[in-house]
Structure 1
Amino acid sequence: MTLVSSTPMLQEARKSGYGIVAFNVHSFDMLYSVAEAAAEIDAPVIIQTTVGTVQNLGPDSIVKTANAASEKYDIPMALHLDHCTDLDVIIQCIRAGYTSVMIDASMHPFEENISLTNQVINITKYIDVNVEAELGKVGGVEDNIVVSNKDAEKAVPSECKEFIERTGVPTLAPAIGTAHGIYSGDPDIDFKRIEEIASLVDEPLVLHGGSAIPEEDVKQCITLGMAKMNVSTELKNAYSEAIKDHFSQTPDSLDPRKYLSKAKEVAKKLATEKMTLVGCAGKAQEIKTQAYPNQYKIDSLRV
């Protein structure tokens, strides 16, 4: 199965009350770790890359690798560009074959955010590419985007409704108290705000800053309408710590196959836990038939 737009899978997830995890990967090995974990538990998955990773690995290479993984493991997989402020990079990734993009104009005033989001919506109007936008400001650090705690602000429910009505954006990431990175204390998640936003809009909502949120908080967010949860720092740290541990224990063991295989297993374990937590384990085949019936019929005829 080739890469798919994340719009149908997220719509199905919200309708059915579970979530899809979107993992930020920084290497092709990490990409395959996540894909293999998803295949082993029959879960749909979203692979994400930051602008920095796009610049490092190249959009064409990322798309080819993600497509190969999707076809190898035969699971519904989308490829998403995370937190992009540059329209040229968005166009570049869409041309390469990304099936989902995020225009992050949340640092701009409301009207300008709408205008910039509509520019991307107009580009994707006739192609099968999901668009994600953000309202409010999620704190923390994501690639080269830094939002301090004092500058972080939560999304206004009525503005979320108006924003979707005026843009038609299919997925929205409202700031609700989470932050990018690992929390120094418990996150201040505004569950009432999530519930109010979800009561006003039918579109899937996106939970940014999903690393290290307590499990019960994640489950409540999903129950209230969050259909996509982003995980970046926790996966990156687990992968890297496994490599550090390898050299701490066996400093003379320089075979990349040995230390990368350890990192892969740690990444797979974490990815499996996150996908199981949001309830998408065992949903891949259901997603195929419910969200992508035409593509699934075509793929099933391949010899």
Structure 2
Amino acid sequence: MQEFFSISLIITQHINRSLGDRQGVSLSKVSRYKRSLSLEENTHILLCDLGGAMGIDQEYSKPRNPSITSMNYMQYNFGVFNHQDLSNVSKLRRALSFSDFPWMNCNVAHPMTKEPFFGEPYNVFIINGMKLVILSGYGGDYLPESEKKEPTLHISRLGSSVKRWLRYIYDSEDPDYVIVCISDWSGEINEVIKDMEGVGMLVTGSHQQEEDGHEAEGEDPGDSAIGLGVNASQYETYTVPEDGQVPIYHHHHNSQVLHISINFKTRTNTYEYLSHSVANIDKEISQLSEDYNLLDLVHYHL
């Protein structure tokens, strides 16, 4: 067991079926970046998507979603859908049936039971013996017209859903560290922040982007990450009666790829959080070469 170790959380969003052989960010270039990270010692990689990778729409008619094929090859650890993915629920369900990794959401639920509609709300990762739990939710309110007429799913309030599942996680899982990931950041995130007991980090993705992945006019992505009222090096502290002061780090990003590195130290019976760094790596990813094994695989299957 490593005394000092780090978790590299690579977060993609709004990839929009950009597999490769193009300028800018693509899944094949992200795959190349992940391979370079795997050579670093004491680094454990978690690859996730905060929505928009599948690019599901009414015109898409391929037998398999090429993004899911690519993400399976890249060994994504989990995904969270956003408004783009929810634009066609039937095709979304078909695409997810081919996914080798979980798609998590705590507040997109069945209309009758209010239980999660797609998979599970959270997942447990054992990294260097540490129990890391990641809880995910959908921060938007978009539903296609077909769902409004004959609903097959229901969007529960994000704040109450996150609070309920955090309580369940601490009652049943006894985690060492908790991360909350929310797709489609909106004003409701302020409600979520009020009840974040025991959460180490909150990561949110922006829904204010164009379909080609560029920021909408007037948006400023900043140099690394945009905090909810703070920058990437600051945090807000909340008083929790049982645990004293609990730091929560907020990172709201408009970029297509974010790299968060979280450093820990192994104690006798616990794990100590040491520090973390955040970087918007869109430019770095864009300059990489393609992973042609990924592109050949997609071409073969489709």
TM-score for the superposition, normalised by structure 2: 0.42
Question: Which structure has greater helix proportion?
Answer: 1
TM-score for the superposition, normalised by structure 1: 0.42
Question: Which structure has greater strand proportion?
Answer: 2
